[in-house]
Structures are given as structure tokens and as C-alpha cells.
Amino acid sequence: MALRTIVIFLALACVAAAQSRTKKIILVTVDGLRWQELFNGVDASLAGKLRIPEDKRREAILPFFWNTFARQGVVFGNPAKNSSVEVTNSFRVSYPGYSEILTGRAQDSVIRGNEKIQNPTETVLEFVRRKLRLPRSRVAVFASWDVFPFIAESKPGSIYINAGYQDDPTMPDLSALQTEAMTAWDGVRHDYVTLNMAINYLRRKKPRVLHIALGETDDWAHDRRYDRVIQSIRYFDTALEYLVTVVQGTPEYRGNTTIIVTSDHGRGSTAEDWTSHGEKVPGAEKIWLAMWGADVPALGEISNSAPVFQRDVAPTMLRVLRIDPASYSGVEGRSVLPLKGK
């Protein structure tokens, strides 16, 4: 193991060696957000004559992420810094990716595409609820994509899920807005609605575990609208800043919350295949992972580190909640944020 890798993981371990302060976990996923834009900013070869800000640096499209979130936390996955995060499922599309995130394993024999089939495995969200004996309302998912009721739980009704164009009677204005201002896609609503429903729910219900799944970055890419992809990435940055501001301003969350941010899959890297992903698209296995919060050391952008995998997200969530990942049956990943005594 390289010296830099040893230093990184010793730092992670030392910061987390004391009793974990994390009481709440927020997982944010950004569908198909490429590492190329996250780490390098706007791809000039794809921008062409589109209406893209003149300043194409990564800090220009992701100012909060790079100037605050990353500096106060950790970010893995920049190939230029010899850091990698990869999916282990074979298919490199959304459902298999989200399932790997939420179960800590690839399920290639069952989850092979984006069909609406119920996840066969108890997800980490369901497991935490059962392990901590939480009411259903304390584990929640708000997702732009309407497949999440199948992805996020193995037993329907185990946790609270609002996805796609699903109404919530406690939020009539947002419920109405999502159908009055629809996207170009039948199964994916605007990320603005998803985020604000999640924030509304956080303030009222105070969930211990919250998953916010944004989706427009992927759909605009499939439509070959690079300008709208960049706009969606900028909105993700705005959304992340809003979320952190709410967390810091809410007594029940301030100082005891860890936020984990990642993507379900990568994309191609050329002008021909940047819109695509899947098992036959080179580079679609490459993603990224960022963490910020109560038990996350301010190491910033990680370089020369051991490989990290998508399946590591679930055990990391468990570790910061002081739950032994080994107690989650079948998990294949490892925590990237170890705690003493576990």
C-alpha cells in the first residue's frame, strides 16, 4: 500500500476514533453526473456554441461543492490524482447502480437493467430502520425517478418513499407544481420539486436517514443537451448548498449529520458516447464519492489512494451510525470511514 494511501486512511481512522457524533445520515445521489465535469468543469469539446458560461472551470459550475463542501470533507475519484471510484455491477445503468449503493453488493443475476422489479435484498435503508427500531417515517427517500419505490426497499411500505410525480398531501403546492411544470420525461420530475419536498419533510419529520435522488443530469445527457446538463449540475450545487444550510440551521441536525454524495454510473468520454452508459461503454464504470459532516475529516480531494467502490457506500453509512457492517447480511463493500472498536 502506498505511503499516501496509508496516511489518508490513518487520518480517517484517527478523526473517527472517538465516539461517532453522527446521528443522522443524508445520502444524495446525482444520476449520471460524470467525473469529467465534477473534476474538470465544462468539457470544451462538447460545449461548442452552446450557451455555456465563459468560465468553464469546475469551481464555476460547482462553486459550493469545491469551495466549501470538498474543503471541509473528502472527495474520491479524480483519475488525475490517482484516485478511483468504480461500480462493480456489470451493467453500468441506473437501477443496478442504485441497488449497489443501497445494498453494498452487485446483484447481476437479478438486477440487470431498469425494469420495475422489487429489489430482492433488504436495502441499507430498511436495515437501519429495523436495526435502530425506527418508525417508518424516520427513514425516507425523495427521488426524481419513478423507479425508486422498487429500488429502495424490498418490502413495499417498509420506509417512506416519494418518487416521480407522486403527490404528498402534506405538500399540496409542490405536489401541484410537479404536474403543472413537467419535464420532458414521463417518469422523471424536476429536481427542484424533489429537493424541496425532501427539505420540507426533513423540517417536519426529522428523519434519521434521508436519501435524496436527483435525476435531470442523466436525462438531459441522453437527450444530447449538454447545455442543460451543465445547468442541472449547477442546480445540484445550489441544492447541496441549500441542504447544508438547512442542516446547519436545524438544531436536530447541526453537528451530528453526515452527508454522502455520489452517482449511480459514469458515462462515455468522447463526443460520440458521452450521452451513453452501460456495459459496452468504456468509462461508464467510473464514478466519484464525496463526504462531509460530523465524522468526516477535512482532507479535501484525495490523491494516491486505494480504490473505492460503489458497494462501499452502504457499509460506510452503517459505520458512521455505529452499526457493524458485518451485521448486514451479504454486504460485500467496506467502510471508507473506519471507527474505533468496530
Each residue's pLDDT tens digit, 274-297: 999 999 999 999 999 999 999 999
257's enclosing H/E stretch is: strand 257-262
**Ranges of residues in the chain whose predicted pLDDT is under 50:** 1, 3, 6, 10, 15-17, 339-342
Report pLDDT for 44: 87
Residue 166 φ/ψ, nearest 5 degrees = -75, 130
Q: Which residues are bridge partners to 293 per DSSP?
A: 258
Report pLDDT for 342: 33
Cell numbers 480517517 label which residue?
Answer: 12
Report pLDDT for 15: 47
Asked whether 287 and 266 are in contact (CB, 8 A), the reply is yes
Percentage of the chain beyond pLDDT 90 is: 88
Can you list the positions of beta strands (E) in 31-91? Answer: 74-76, 85-86
Report pLDDT for 20: 73
Residue 145 φ/ψ, nearest 5 degrees = -95, 135
DSSP state of 204: H
Residues in the chain: 342
pTM value is: 0.93
Distance CA 2, CA 8 (A): 10
Report pLDDT for 16: 44
Q: Specify the amino acid at residue 34.
A: R
Residue 186 φ/ψ, nearest 5 degrees = -70, -30
Cell numbers 465516539 label which residue?
Answer: 19
Distance CA 23, CA 206 (A): 11
Query: Beta-carbon neighbour count of residue 180 at 10 Å?
Result: 7
Distance of alpha carbon 212 from its chain centroid, rounded? 8
- Give every CB contact of residue 54 below 8 A, 6+ residues apart in sequence: none
Nearest residue to 238 (alpha-carbon basis) of 188, 171, 191, 288: 191
317's enclosing H/E stretch is: helix 313-320
Residue 151 φ/ψ, nearest 5 degrees = -80, -45
